[in-house]
Each structure stands twice: as C-alpha cells, then as structure tokens.
C-alpha cells in the first residue's frame, strides 16, 4: 500500500483550464481514444467474476442517439443476480469489516491517484454517455477525486479516539463500526462523482456494497469498477449490477441488505423509503436509508442586487449541464422593480450560449439525457404557456440527431403554477415576479422541496434574514446555487429533497456506521 494522507491536508482537485492549448489537446486526444472504444460489451461483476446474460441493453449517446456507448446485461431478466451479488457482499463483509480503517482509506487514496491519471479519459466517457460538456465532465471527475481523498481522510478521523466524558473507576470508549451490506443506487447526472462517492463512503466505513448504476450511465460505472480492481480492493467488497427497476427492487427488499444509499427522483426515493421500512422475513435490523432526491431551487434577486452578477449566476445555474442538476436554478424570483432590467441581461447572456455536440470544446449546452426527458420537457413548456406563462427565448427542441432542447426562459409564471412547483430537470427557467423581499421569501419557501437556494442583495439585513428564513440545505448568498465543492459545501436538502445527507461533509460517513460504546470497570 502507499503512504497515507494526513487527516487535515485535504485540498480540492483543481479544475482543468481548457483555454490552455496543451489541456485542450489532451482532452481532444482522450475523446478520440474513447471514441475508438465505443460499443464494447461489458459484464456485471459479482465477487470479482464477470457475469453476462443473453438479454442485453444499450447505453446510447444522447447527443447522437444512433451511437452506442456500451452494451450491458439486462439484470431484470434474471433477478437472482441481485441475490447472488448480495450473498457475495455478505461473505466479503465478514473479513472486510475487520480491515484496519487506515488500510481501507489507503485504497481510496489509490483510487484517487488512478482517477487523476485517467482524468481526461473518464471525462471523455461522460461526454459521450451523458452529453456533458468539457467543463461539466471535468468538474464531475474532479469531484470524484475529491470524494476519494476526503472520505479517506474522514475515515482516519472517525477511527481515532472519540471524545467522551471520563469518570473515575471506568475505562470507556466509543467507536464506530460498519453496518453491513449496502445497496448503492446512484443517478445518471453525476455518473462518476456521485456513484463513486456513494460507493467509496460506504466501503471506507467498512461496509460491502452492490452498486446498480442508472441504465442511462452504466459505462462510466464500469470504468470505475476497472479502477476498483486496479486499486486491489478484495473481490466481493464492491459488486456491480446493471438493470432497471426489478434489479433495484430486489436489492432494496433483500433481508440481507442493511442500508440503501440512493440519489435520484422524489418518487423513487419515497418508494425506497417506504419499502425499506417494512421488515422482510429473516431481517433483524431496521434498514437505514440515505436518500438525496429532487429540488425546485430558486435564486432570489432583490432590488438592490448587482444585476450583472445575478444574471451571470442565474444563467450558469439554470443552463449548466442542460439544467440536469438537482441543484439547478429552475426558478428566478425577482423583485418586480428590477425585473425588466435583469431579464434583459439574462436573455442577452442566454442567447450567446453555444448549443452543439459535447465533444466540441466550445459547446455550452448539449442534449438532455433521453427521449422521455425530451418529451416531458416540451410538455412542461406547453403547460406553462397554457397557464399564462410567456416564452421569451427557447421553447422548442430537436430530437433528430440527439435530444436537444433550447435553453428556455418562461416569464410571467405565477406562484403555485406547474412550472413553479414541479422539478423539470432540463434547461427551463421559470421567472416569477415578487412584490418585495417578504413576498420573495414566501415564494422561495412555497414548494415541497428544500435543496439549494440563492439570494442576491447588497443588504446585510436581507442576507441575514435569508440565513434564518430560507429553508434549504444549501444556501448561497450573492453567488449561484450550483457548484458545491467537497469539504467546502457539504451537500443535502430538506423536506422532499431528501435526508439532508450532507455529502462531502464531515458527518457523511456516520450514515454508514453505528456507534458502539465499550465500558470497562477498573
């Protein structure tokens, strides 16, 4: 194993500056390398062994829907695979739980080093598989590296002596031990960072897992499994299944599953929470659910705000990665006194965004993830117009070559209307006028979600009120509501946005461990 990091020396992985020609050329070479590897067939991995099925599905490039990125086993055709994978994880847990924390952390540091070496290649896979632009893909890879480095250090910290009150006559200690076997069900929108982060957090805490990536992004997960293997993590600690609903359901309902780590939609998250709460025959624990779900995130712009800064933040947060982030700005709540001026600035910036293939370095907006997302987005826009909204730019799409939706701004949206309440997960921004700051905060808090939010104002009093009254897990003041950094902005939301897990925070690993107090009379 390699030299361990110190618990206090974490620094975020730098983003790549693609304006430097050397970096741009390295990315172009990585894209061409990956292009030459498209369409290969991959297997599920159970206890270190590759498992294939006759039934398969294709992962496609959303920006070129006739381009197959990878071919995978359709696990739903044989749900016994889930049981086999869980059994393998159960057996591996017997030994993995006793591996010293420092050794488990060292595996994560090795994974970070491998990802750093393969950085542009990993980013290129996301360019093809989920249509991330260069900058968005690079940020995803950097975050995955950060998770490995941060969680490794956090495990070192949690494995140290924990502070408890001392009394005479007893030797008392509190330690944190792993839970057991976990089902890890990550999303497609951060297919490396969130998938790897959820997996590594559970594993470094001493658990074993079965990972089932989204059917829209299995290839990058398969590449991560290559890295897990190269790092030398023992067979059975991380098992890899591909499939759809039946595979995930089998993982969630197994009596041998101790916890479920999920990131995705509100509907699926609530279903998992409900199913996991019902004990199965032979189950001897209450399953723990770590769920990060949706958002209907708002940026509030006050009448005293720097409108140029606000406009830039809104456009970046609304249309980065085609608005397909749970943290994306999908509502702009602007004081009616500055509405026209701000909207003009936002419109000017939006119309300069370059829509195109994500393989090109100058693309700002690419395709949404699939046909369902494309169709649903256009339906939401039509619904908004029917309810009185006005499309000021965009409003249409083209699903000929890929699933492209133009960045869309809908003005005159009223509180309570569909586009103001429901998560769209696409490049669509609802603009809502507020009468004053009281009204703005009421609108901002007027949904079932509570993930991210932002306020632009020059008033310290207003910003302090936002701290107290804007009910979101991640609140940003005078900056955009996307772009959380590991260790800097622990991430997770309130209400229907999930269990506020605070991924990338100091307490995140506690969700995968349980405290054991040992008291000895002396």
Which of 292, 420, 422, 423 is labelled catalytic? 292
Amino acid 5: pLDDT: 81
Q: Which two tokens stand for residue 402?
A: 């890929």
Give the model's confidence band at 467: pLDDT under 50 very low, under 70 low, under 90 confident, else very high.
very high
Picking from 115, 286, 271, the residue whose alpha carbon sits closest to that of residue 200 is: 115
Take residue 86 and report the two structure tokens written for it.
């869980």
CATH class (in words) of the domain with range 21-293+501-521 = alpha beta
Phi-psi region of 412 (alpha: psi -120 to 50; beta: other; left: phi over 0): left
Residue 190: name the closest of 261, 146, 126 by CA: 126
Return the pLDDT at 79.
82
In the prediction, which pLDDT does 518 show? Answer: 98
Q: Does the annotation mark 481 as catalytic? A: no
Per-residue buried b or exposed e for 18-54, using 16+ beta carbons within 10 Å of the residue's own CB: beeeebeebbbebbeebeeebeeebbbbbbbeebebe
> 129, 136, 154, 326: which one is catalytic?
326
pLDDT tens for 22-50 read 999 999 999 999 999 999 999 999 999 99
Q: Does residue 311 sit in helix, strand or coil? A: helix
Collapsing DSSP states into helix, strand and coil, what is residue 473?
coil
Cβ of 496: how many Cβ atoms within 10 Å?
18
Instruction: Give the per-residue pLDDT at 6.
Output: 80
d(CA 413, CA 408): 13
For the record, the structure tokens of 350 come out as 């939006």
**At CA 196, angle to CA 486 and CA 115, rounded to 5?**
85
Query: How would residue 8 be classed by pLDDT, with cut points 50, 70 and 90?
Result: confident
**pLDDT (tens digit per residue) in 450-465:** 999 999 999 999 999 9
Average pLDDT of the segment spanning 487-501: 98
CA 57 – CA 83 distance, rounded (Å): 21
**Using an 8 Å Cβ cutoff, are 492 and 501 in contact?**
yes
Q: And the tokens for 511?
A: 């969700």
Quick one: tokens of 367? 């395709």
Is 185 within 8 Å of 212 (Cβ atoms)?
A: yes
pLDDT in tens, 47-100: 999 999 999 999 999 999 999 999 999 999 998 999 999 999 999 999 999 999
Q: What's the pLDDT band for 508 if we cut at 50, 70, 90?
A: very high
Fold classified for 297-484: Aldehyde Dehydrogenase; Chain A, domain 2 (3.40.309)
2, pLDDT greater than 90: no
Domain ranges of the chain: 21-293+501-521, 297-484
Cα–Cα distance, 444 to 476 (Å, whole number): 13
- 292 labelled catalytic: yes
Percentage of residues in the chain having pLDDT higher than 70: 99
Three-state secondary structure call for residue 410 = strand
* pLDDT tens, residue by residue, 267-324: 999 999 999 999 999 999 999 999 999 999 999 999 999 999 999 999 999 999 999 9
What is the sign of the dihedral through the CA atoms of 31, 37, 41 and 43? negative
Select from 379, 358, 488 the least CA-distant residue to 428. 379
Distance CA 292, CA 287 (A): 16
**Rounded-to-integer distance, Cα 465 and Cα 479, Å:** 16
């Amino acid at each position: 194993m390699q030299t361990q990091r110190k618990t206090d020396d974490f620094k975020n992985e730098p983003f790549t500056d693609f304006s430097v020609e050397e970096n741009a050329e390295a990315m172009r070479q990585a894209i061409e390398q990956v292009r030459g590897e498209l369409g290969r067939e991959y297997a599920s991995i159970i206890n270190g062994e590759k498992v294939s099925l006759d039934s398969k599905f294709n992962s496609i490039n959303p920006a070129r829907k006739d381009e197959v990125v990878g071919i995978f086993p359709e696990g739903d055709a044989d749900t016994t695979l889930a049981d086999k994978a869980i059994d393998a994880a159960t057996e591996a847990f017997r030994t993995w739980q006793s591996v010293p924390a420092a050794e488990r952390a060292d595996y994560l540091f090795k994974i970070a080093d491998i990802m750093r070496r393969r950085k542009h290649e990993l980013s290129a896979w996301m360019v093809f598989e989920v249509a991330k632009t260069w900058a968005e893909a690079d940020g995803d890879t950097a975050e995955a590296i950060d998770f490995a480095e941060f969680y490794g250090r956090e495990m070192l910290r949690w494995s140290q002596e924990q502070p408890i009150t001392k009394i005479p006559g007893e030797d008392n200690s509190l330690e944190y031990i792993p839970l057991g076997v976990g089902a890890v069900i990550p999303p497609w929108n951060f297919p490396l960072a969130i998938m790897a982060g959820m997996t590594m957090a559970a594993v470094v805490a001493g658990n074993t897992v079965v990972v089932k990536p989204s059917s829209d992004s299995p290839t990058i997960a398969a590449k991560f499994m290559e890295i897990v293997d190269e790092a030398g993590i023992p067979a059975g600690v991380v098992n890899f299944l591909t499939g759809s609903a039946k595979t995930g359901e089998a993982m969630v309902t197994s009596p041998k599953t101790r916890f479920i780590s999920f990131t995705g939609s509100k509907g699926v998250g609530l279903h998992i929470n409900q199913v996991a709460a019902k004990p199965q025959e032979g189950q001897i624990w209450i399953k723990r659910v770590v769920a990060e779900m949706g958002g209907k995130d708002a940026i509030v712009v006050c009448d005293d705000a720097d409108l140029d800064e606000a406009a830039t933040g809104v456009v970046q947060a609304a249309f980065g990665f085609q608005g397909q982030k749970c943290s994306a700005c999908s509502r702009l709540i602007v004081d009616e006194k500055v509405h026209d001026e701000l909207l003009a600035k936002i419109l000017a910036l939006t119309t300069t965004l370059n829509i195109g293939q994500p393989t090109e370095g100058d693309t700002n907006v690419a395709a949404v993830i699939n046909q369902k997302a494309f169709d649903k987005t256009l339906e939401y826009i039509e619904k908004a117009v029917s309810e009185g909204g006005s499309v000021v730019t965009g409003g249409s799409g083209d699903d000929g070559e890929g699933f492209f939706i133009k960045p869309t701004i809908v003005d005159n949206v009223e509180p309570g209307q569909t586009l103001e309440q429901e998560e769209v997960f696409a490049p669509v921004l609802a603009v809502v006028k507020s009468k004053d700051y009281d009204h703005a905060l009421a609108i901002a808090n007027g949904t079932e979600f509570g993930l991210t939010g932002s306020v632009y104002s020059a008033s310290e009093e207003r910003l302090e009120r936002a701290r107290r009254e804007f009910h979101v897990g991640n609140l940003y003041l005078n900056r955009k509501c996307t772009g959380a950094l590991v260790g800097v902005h622990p991430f997770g939301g309130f209400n229907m946005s999930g269990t506020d897990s605070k991924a990338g925070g100091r307490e995140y690993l506690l969700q995968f461990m349980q405290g054991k107090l040992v008291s000895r009379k002396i």
